[in-house]
Structure 1
Amino acid sequence: MSKFVQELREAGPTCSLAEAIKALGISRGHGYALARAGEFPVKVLRLGSTYRVVTADLLRVLGLDEVA
């Protein structure tokens, strides 16, 4: 398992939008635009000016939700 995947699994219930963007392999600008438009491929929580992504949803989209 890659270090990045391990870090995602240990991130807790949410991770940063930047981490999710990196995991999905999309550009930063496009990722933030999707989040602002409510079209990001996983659940995004907006807390003030901060975006957080539900880690379990991200792992599911990446096909990494099974127990290793």
Structure 2
Amino acid sequence: MKTQSGMSRAELLSLPVSVDVVVAGRAIGVGRTLAYDLAKRGEFPVRVLRLGNRYRVARADLLRHLGEDPAEAA
């Protein structure tokens, strides 16, 4: 069963500790271009970490934003 996001609950809970902005965008229901645009403008709804030229999102922050308990994913 799909959640409000673009991923099922099982998919969300099986994500690695950090994901790229495309996967995080898919989880919150936005496409690749919009996800990068929001990250570059500092408007992505979840904290984005910039590592060199890469954007990463912590799974725990993403799960909290989506109303899931990060402890369940551990």
Compare relative contact order (CA 8 Å, sep 6+) and give the higher one, 1 or 2.
Answer: 1
Q: Please, which runs of 5 or more residues in structure 1 have no aligned partner?
A: none
| Percent of residue pairs bearing the same amino acid type | 45
Provide the alpha-carbon RMSD of the alignment: 1.8
Q: Could you tell me the TM-score, scaled by structure 2's length?
A: 0.75
Q: Could you tell me the TM-score, scaled by structure 1's length?
A: 0.81
Give the corresponding residue for 1:27: 31
Aligned length: 65
| Superposition misfits of 4+ residues, deviation over 4 angstroms | none
Q: Please, which runs of 5 or more residues in structure 2 have no aligned partner?
A: 1-7
| TM-aligned CA deviation for residue 17 of structure 1 | 1.1
CA deviation string 1:2-32 (max 9, x = no partner)? 4412322xx12x2211110110111211110
